[in-house]
Amino acid sequence: MIPVTGFENARVGILGLGRSGLSAARALRAGGAHPVCWDDNPAAREMAETEGFDVGDLLREGAFDAIARLIVSPGIPHLYPAPNKVVANALRAGVPVDNDIGLFFLSLGTEKWAEFDDPPKVIAVTGSNGKSTTSALIHHVLEHAGKTSQLAGNIGRGVLDIDPPDDGGVVVLELSSYQTELARALTPDVAVFSNLSPDHLDRHGGLGGYFAAKRRLFAEGGPDRAVIGVDEPEGLFLAGQLSEGPDDARVIRVSVEGKLSGPGWSVFAKKGYLSEYRKGKQTGSIDLRPVKGLPGRHNHQNACAAYAACRALGLSPRVIEQGFHSFEGLPHRSQVIAEKNGVTFVNDSKATNVDSALKALEAFSSIRWICGGLEKEGGVGGLKPGLANVVKAYVIGREAAEFAMQLEGVGAEVCTTMAAAVAQAMDEAQPGDTVLLAPAAASFDQYDNFEKRGEDFIAEVQARLQAGL
């Protein structure tokens, strides 16, 4: 646990008692603060009471008279589409609003660090797609290199639940826009911006607000080194804002659109080959094509970002390459779950929006595509560049028929359920085909989350394989 400092004997409000809220309450108490907890869910309040926390209605009049700060869980809106009433009351009372990420950066460094030969480092990763894989890949490479690494934030453990890092330790954080938009302290040593595509627009008041939430990771204190994907206008703009000139090595530009030139530091992938350039000269390269845990162009972008972050910490290209080859990938993200009779089965249930699903479609050929679910704003027109790789689509979800009608030029069968889709796809698959789950939609019409949807796909595939069907 990272005890929160700076609030000794102070009352600190906690709004939302899920994983991050309870973790913040424990860390505040460990640092000598007095948490006052609230959640609309009675069961959550009861759980906090069983841990001995003071549960107080933060909506009542005068609730913030003696509160030093309000800590808000990521899922609770503070501005758009409308502020939560508790948050609004705190702001009217002049009480600062923060989250567990802000508390983490506020409290991470201790006097003990002065005794270390190599003070701990923090790598923070944000972006629309690929940030989980990028974070996990960085963590894996660091461990392969013999460094002590902890993975936390939006993946792995809560940021305040990790162990205080020791001499030479590294903390790798995956941070969502919900986490970066509110944290009052954001001071990583290395910050990574992977890419940007429309998502969570209602929460951020549009694409500009969404980008602004991501940009805060680089503006609230500023990292020593910034790894920036420059294939979208926003990333290109951000790199320009952070750089003092073409040869400013504090900014490492990353691309999978083509070769990056100039005197600065860049990492790019072209036709499956990763290249690193510094001062106009190539300083490293990796053939990514045989790396099984990183298939496709989108994973090559993740590999470039992870490579750049690890190079920023001083790891050699060969050590990083070795780490890449032993990386098995993450569940539900281009996860190869089986291969039989020349047919490959891939679970990419995390492809919940059009952009991430398109990347999955571009990563494979001859695809039997299982798609559909709770459609997101904007429709599915953006999938068109990847549809040439689709042999046939098998559409699931309560609105499967409407989803299928939008897939112009592709044979689509309305299956509705995962069981029916898997059965039909497997019956029709030929050697060389890939049966791919990449829904391009949210899961909530049929499942609690994308993990449950992916697990259902895996179970259906394995059951039919075991039965010899």
Q: What was the pLDDT predicted at 329?
A: 86
| The predicted structure's pLDDT at residue 40 | 94
Would 2 be classed as within a structural domain? Answer: no
390-398 average pLDDT score: 97
Q: What is the mean pLDDT of the chain?
A: 95
Dist. CA 191–CA 330, nearest whole Å:
21
What CATH number corresponds to the domain at position 34?
3.40.50.720
The residue type at 437: L
212 has pLDDT over 90 = yes
Average pLDDT over residues 306-322: 98
Residues 175 and 296 in one domain: yes
User: Distance (Å, rounded) from C-alpha 210 to C-alpha 377?
Assistant: 15
From 81, 98, 115, give the residue that closes a domain.
98
Contact present, 131 and 125 (Cβ < 8 Å): yes
pLDDT for the residue numbered 73: 96
Inform me whether the pLDDT recorded for 16 exceeds 90. yes
Contact (Cβ atoms closer than 8 angstroms) between residue 63 and residue 57: yes
Measured in degrees and rounded to the nearest 5, phi and psi for residue 287 equal: -85, 110
Q: Specify whether 405 is located in the same domain as 450.
A: yes
Are residues 36 and 138 both part of a single domain? no
> What's the mean pLDDT in 70-88?
95
Same structural domain, 141 and 219: yes
Q: Helix 354-363 to helix 296-312 angle, to the nearest 10 degrees?
A: 100
Give the CA angle between residues 346, 228, 255 to the nearest 5°.
Answer: 60
Mean pLDDT, range 123-134, rounded to an integer: 94
In a domain, 320, yes or no: yes
Is 131 marked as binding a ligand? yes
Q: Tell me whether residue 4 is in a domain.
A: no
Q: Do 227 and 362 fall within a single domain?
A: no
Same domain, 248 and 348: no
6-22 mean pLDDT: 96
83 lies in some domain:
yes
- CA atoms of 324 and 171, how far apart (whole Å): 19
Which of 158, 261, 239, 145 lies closest to 195, judged by CA? 239
Q: Residue 414: how many CB atoms within 10 A of its CB?
A: 18
In a domain, 373, yes or no: yes
Amino acid identity, position 262: G
Q: 203 and 310 share a domain? A: yes
- 116 is a domain residue: yes
Nearest one of 418, 406, 404 to 456, comparing CA atoms: 418
- If pLDDT is split at 50, 70 and 90, which confidence band does 5 have? very high
Q: Domain range spanning residue 429?
A: 335-466
Question: What's the average model confidence in pLDDT over 455-463?
Answer: 97
**Two tokens, residue 37:** 């907890």
Do 294 and 170 reside in the same domain of the chain? yes
Residue 377 has pLDDT above 90, yes or no: no
Q: Which of 298, 325, 352 is the last residue of a domain?
A: 325
Three-state secondary structure string covering the chain: CCCCCCCCCCEEEEECCCHHHHHHHHHHHHCCCEEEEECCCHHHHHHHHHCCCEECCCCCCCCCCCEEEEEECCCCCCCCCCCCHHHHHHHHCCCCEECHHHHHHHHCCCHHHHHCCCCCEEEEEECCCCHHHHHHHHHHHHHHCCCCEEEEECCCECCCCCCCCCCCCEEEEECCHHHHCCCCCECCCEEEECCCCCCCHHHHCCHHHHHHHHHHHHHCECCCEEEEECCCHHHHHHHHHHCCCCCCCCEEEEECCCCCCCCCEEEEEECCEEEEEECCEEEEEEECCCCCCCCHHHHHHHHHHHHHHHHHCCCCHHHHHHHHHCCCCCCCCCEEEEEECCEEEEECCCCCCHHHHHHHHHHCCCEEEEECCECCCCCCHHHHHHHHHEEEEEEECCCHHHHHHCCCCCCEEEEECHHHHHHHHHHHCCCCCEEEECCCCECCCCCCCHHHHHHHHHHHHHHHHHCCC
- The lowest-confidence range among 193-202, 445-454, 455-464 is 193-202
107 contacts: CB under 8 Å, gap ≥ 6: 2, 3, 4, 5, 6, 27, 31
Residue 128, marked binder: yes
Q: Do 223 and 127 lie in a common domain?
A: yes
Same domain, 307 and 176: yes
Q: Does position 378 have pLDDT exceeding 80, yes or no?
A: no
Please give the structure tokens belonging to residue 410.
């592709």
Which of 277, 307, 325 is a domain's end point? 325
Which phi-psi region, left, alpha or beta, contains residue 173 (left: φ > 0; alpha: ψ -120 to 50)?
beta
Tokens of 452: 């449950």
Q: How confident is the model at residue 200 (pLDDT cuts 50, 70, 90)?
A: confident
Distance CA 368, CA 413 (A): 11
For residue 376, give the nearest of 430, 308, 444, 311 by alpha carbon.
Answer: 444
Is the pLDDT confidence value at 180 over 80? Answer: yes
Q: Are residues 417 and 317 in the same domain?
A: no
169 has pLDDT over 90? yes
Q: Do 146 and 278 have their domain in common?
A: yes
Residue 129, marked binder: yes
Q: Which residue has the higher pLDDT, 329 or 95?
A: 95
329 is in an annotated binding site: no
Provide the β-strand partners of residue 362.
none
Condensed to tens digits (0 to 9), the pLDDT of residues 51-77 reads: 999 999 999 999 999 999 999 999 999
Tell me whether residue 6 is in a domain.
no
| Average of per-residue pLDDT across 256-274 | 95
Structure confidence by residue, pLDDT tens digits, 142-166: 999 999 999 999 998 999 999 999 9
In a domain, 301, yes or no: yes
Q: What is the mean pLDDT of residues 406-426?
A: 96
Q: How much is the pLDDT for 198?
A: 82
Distance CA 411, CA 335 (A): 25
- Report pTM: 0.88
Q: What percent of the chain has pLDDT over 70?
A: 100
Residue, of 353 and 163, whose pLDDT is higher: 163
Number of domains in the chain: 3
Q: What is the pLDDT of residue 199?
A: 80
